[in-house]
């Protein structure tokens, strides 16, 4: 049953629309019949809260762009497209899916549930699984390929077993031939590396890095320092030149992906929202439709990182209350556990280690 709310006071009351919109947002089961009210409620929901979002709300210019995407989707009565770039391996290599992946999918599921209280088509989350990007970054050895294949297939199986048909995995390998993307990426990466070495040597602003192959904005010093510090933490045995080469491979692959149209977006609709599970990088666009989300809500775990960099485990307190937390594999003395999920047709097993408080 749809319960409709509408203003029946004075028709010329200047606050009529405001009050009707407020009731429509605060009580999602009520329908106002006003597309703008629905749009505003969905955008506010997508912007998240301090429990779910990393950092402050996007700036007003970004929110305007988000409103445009949502408004057009609502007008067409179609799911609101959301693109999310995700890794194709657990880092460090060799670890399988665990409660971290389950937590991130719970974040999307709850967002979808809340959206459908206002708007039944809800969102469609398209997950671009960067399996070819990982080959560019980590090499094409058999063990790398096996790690990518195992993690990718298990992650996709998890989504199917959960019955989350509003989450659509889109591996890069399903959009382009491996050789085509890697060949183009390697050409671009060589140019990036040469320009990064020069910029690093003279300590300049990097505004001309890869300019001649279509990269816009250069790679300023503070951006280079940010990525080198991340690589240094992840790969402490590598030297500075290796970190520059990894940065070049990364940016070369981004440029190749865009040149070849390997985005993962729904091409039947112009525009999209985006979610990033990573920390906002210093070169993130000032105006965009992207919101950075925690993989685990703040009231569950103060420790947050992208789920593919995290060990997800349960913390059980003295009252037998459980919550999913994020940590590292070597940090704590975990009790080992496993969970099996089955939908009757498929089954997936994931690590479910725990600690007692």
| pLDDT tens readout for residues 81-91 | 999 999 999 98
Residues of the chain with pLDDT > 70, as a percent, come to 91
Residue 310, in any domain of the structure? no
- For residue 60, is pLDDT > 90? yes
Residue 185, in any domain of the structure? yes
Q: Would you mind telling me the total number of residues written for the chain in this entry?
A: 357
pLDDT, mean of residues 290-308: 95
- End-to-end CA, the chain: 46
pLDDT category of residue 292 using cuts at 50, 70 and 90: very high
Closest CA to 311 of 265, 249, 353, 253: 353
Same-domain pairing of 80 and 170:
yes
Q: What is the pLDDT of residue 347?
A: 96
**For the domain that residue 90 is a member of, what is the CATH number?**
3.40.50
Q: Which domain holds residue 83?
A: 34-175+264-298
Calpha distance 220→289 (Å, rounded): 23
Residue 113, in any domain of the structure? yes
Beta-strand ranges (E) seen in 279-337 are 290-292, 311-316, 322-327
Calpha distance 248→177 (Å, rounded): 21
- For residue 122, is pLDDT > 60? yes
Same-domain pairing of 42 and 128:
yes
Measured CA to CA in angstroms, residue 120 lies from 112, 256, 285 at distances of: 9, 37, 31
pLDDT, mean of residues 212-239: 91
Same-domain pairing of 166 and 287:
yes
Mean model confidence pLDDT for the chain: 91
Q: pLDDT tens for residues 97-106?
A: 999 999 999 9
Is the separation of the CB atoms in 170 and 217 below 8 Å? no
- For residue 346, is pLDDT > 60? yes
Same-domain pairing of 9 and 130:
no
More confident residue, 5 or 244: 244
Exposure letters 313-325 (e unless 16+ CB within 10 A, then b): bbbeeeeeeeebb
Q: What is the pLDDT of residue 19?
A: 67
Q: What is the pLDDT of residue 6?
A: 63
Same-domain pairing of 94 and 219:
no
Same-domain pairing of 144 and 57:
yes
Last residue in a domain, options 214, 245, 261: 261
- For residue 309, is pLDDT > 90? yes
More confident residue, 254 or 201: 254
Same-domain pairing of 144 and 158:
yes
Calpha distance 148→115 (Å, rounded): 33
pLDDT, mean of residues 251-275: 96
pLDDT, mean of residues 14-32: 63
Residue 338, in any domain of the structure? no
More confident residue, 94 or 162: 162
User: Which of 233-247, 259-273, 316-330 is modeled with the greatest confidence?
Assistant: 259-273
Q: What is the pLDDT of residue 335?
A: 92
φ and ψ at residue 122, rounded to 5 degrees: 60, -145
Calpha distance 336→353 (Å, rounded): 4
Residue 118, in any domain of the structure? yes
pLDDT, mean of residues 262-290: 95
Write the DSSP symbol of residue 53: B
pLDDT, mean of residues 288-304: 95
- For residue 96, is pLDDT > 70? yes
Number of structural domains (the chain) is 3
Calpha distance 66→291 (Å, rounded): 10
Same-domain pairing of 104 and 14:
no
Q: What is the pLDDT of residue 341?
A: 94
Closest CA to 84 of 258, 291, 270, 269: 291
């Amino acid at each position: 049953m749809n319960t409709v709310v509408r203003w029946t006071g004075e028709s010329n009351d200047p606050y009529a629309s405001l009050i009707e919109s407020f009731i429509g947002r605060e009580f999602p089961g009520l329908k106002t019949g006003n597309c703008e009210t629905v749009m505003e409620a969905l955008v506010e929901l997508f912007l998240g809260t301090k429990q779910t979002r990393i950092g402050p709300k996007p700036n007003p210019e970004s929110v305007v762009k988000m409103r445009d995407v949502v408004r057009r989707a609502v007008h067409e009565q179609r799911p609101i497209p959301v693109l999310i770039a995700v890794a194709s391996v657990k880092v460090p290599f060799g670890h399988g899916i665990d409660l971290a992946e389950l937590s991130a999918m719970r974040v999307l599921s709850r967002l979808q549930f809340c959206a459908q209280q206002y708007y039944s088509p809800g969102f469609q989350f398209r997950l671009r699984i960067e399996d070819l990007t990982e080959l560019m970054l980590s090499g094409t050895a058999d063990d790398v390929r096996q790690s990518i294949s195992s993690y990718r297939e298990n992650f996709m199986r998890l989504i199917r077993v959960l019955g989350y048909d509003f989450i659509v995995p889109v591996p890069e390998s399903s959009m382009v031939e491996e050789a085509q993307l890697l060949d183009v990426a390697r050409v671009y990466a060589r140019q990036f590396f040469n320009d990064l070495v020069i910029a690093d040597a003279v300590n300049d602003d990097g505004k001309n890095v890869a300019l001649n192959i279509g990269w816009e904005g250069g790679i300023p010093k503070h951006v280079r320092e940010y990525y080198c510090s991340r690589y240094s933490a992840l790969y402490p045995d590598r030297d500075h030149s290796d970190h520059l080469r990894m940065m070049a491979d990364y940016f070369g692959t981004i440029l190749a992906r865009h040149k070849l149209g390997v985005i993962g977006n729904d091409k039947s609709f112009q525009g999209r929202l985006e979610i990033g599970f990573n920390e906002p990088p210093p070169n993130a666009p000032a105006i965009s439709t992207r919101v950075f989300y925690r993989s685990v809500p703040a009231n569950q775990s103060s420790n947050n990182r992208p789920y593919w960099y995290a060990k997800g485990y349960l913390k059980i307190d003295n009252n037998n209350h459980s919550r999913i937390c994020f940590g590292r594999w070597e940090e704590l003395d975990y009790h080992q556990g496993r969970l099996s999920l089955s939908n009757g047709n498929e089954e997936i097993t994931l690590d479910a280690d725990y600690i007692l408080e």
